[in-house]
Structure 1
């Protein structure tokens, strides 16, 4: 009997050693790749001149570009208010993005799957500056990123500096 016991012990040790020792040797092998890192950036400022069209006719192949017709002059009261309105909207969007950034997170599942995209939210504001409603104007194509952007927008709280009752807020998710 003792010889059978010794044989069983030897076989058990050999089996366990064959299962446990290869991972120990592999751990000292080639170095592992660094983990994925993600960060959020504010969108780049688009440089569009007032005379340049935002939409282009891409269907016309051989058409010569038509001469741009200058718009009729605006009344003096409107001329001064238009650039100020554009500047105010731009400032409100930039301020909203700064306030949104501490609340915004990149979902780990989206990072693992390598998902990227841009979500455009419509923030509906109450009279006291609180966020009454958040809806998706343009989806990123990935519901997980859309939900993360909506959750962060609600977490912003009050937006006391906004003069309008609706604000379109772009939220960009990019992996680097």
Structure 2
């Protein structure tokens, strides 16, 4: 090592030591932390509540008025739905998939990234056939495909041929 470099290193160490060492000796040790003490108290019992109310209605008579029962509401006939069988459910799913295919698109980002998957949507259908709720029952694992399937299901509008209140609709995204 060159003598100039050794001299520079020695001067640097001496300078730093003269500045830092007095500070180290001036500092006093930190005081010990305060001692914490915890105590448990028994819960306070709530005051006894009397059966008599705080405010009394002195204006009301002691006799209670006769209770008049309102007439029952008129019965509205509900539309009869045919019984749901496996064949009718399969027919509903196939019809829903045909209608969904009119509104479904494969997201460009998913195509570019080569993403495939299957989403199972749960459609809630009202009595008049309109879709009242759509949510993902089983995700494809990719939010892009899940959102595209949900948007297409909402775009279907009405499903007049559906007799089920809820319909599980599989939506398959495959690249060919």
Q: For the superposition of Structure 1 and Structure 2, which TM-score range results when normalised by the shorter chain?
A: 0.5 to 0.7
- Structure number with greater Rg is 2
Other-structure match for 1:7: none
Q: Which runs of 5+ in 1 are unaligned?
A: 1-80
What SS does the corresponding residue of 2:123 show, helix, strand or coil? strand
Other-structure match for 1:13: none
Give distance in 2, aligned partners of 1:175 and 1:85: 33
Give distance in 2, aligned partners of 1:151 and 1:126: 18
Other-structure match for 2:76: none
Greater share of helix residues, 1 or 2? Answer: 1
Other-structure match for 2:125: 125
Segments ≥4 residues shifted beyond 4 Å: none
**Aligned-pair distance for 1:101?**
0.3
Other-structure match for 1:112: 112
**Aligned-pair distance for 1:127?**
1.5
Larger RCO, structure (CA 8 Å, separation 6 or more): 1
Give distance in 1, aligned partners of 2:164 and 2:93: 11
Aligned residues: 95
Other-structure match for 1:167: 167
Alignment of 1:22-171 (within 5 A): 85-171=85-171
Give the TM-score normalised by structure 1: 0.52
What SS does the corresponding residue of 1:102 show, helix, strand or coil? helix
**Aligned-pair distance for 1:112?**
0.3
- How large is the Cα RMSD of the aligned pairs? 1.6
**Aligned-pair distance for 1:126?**
1.2
Other-structure match for 1:25: none
Deviations 1:109-161 (A, max 9, x none): 00000000000000001111000000101000000000000000000010000
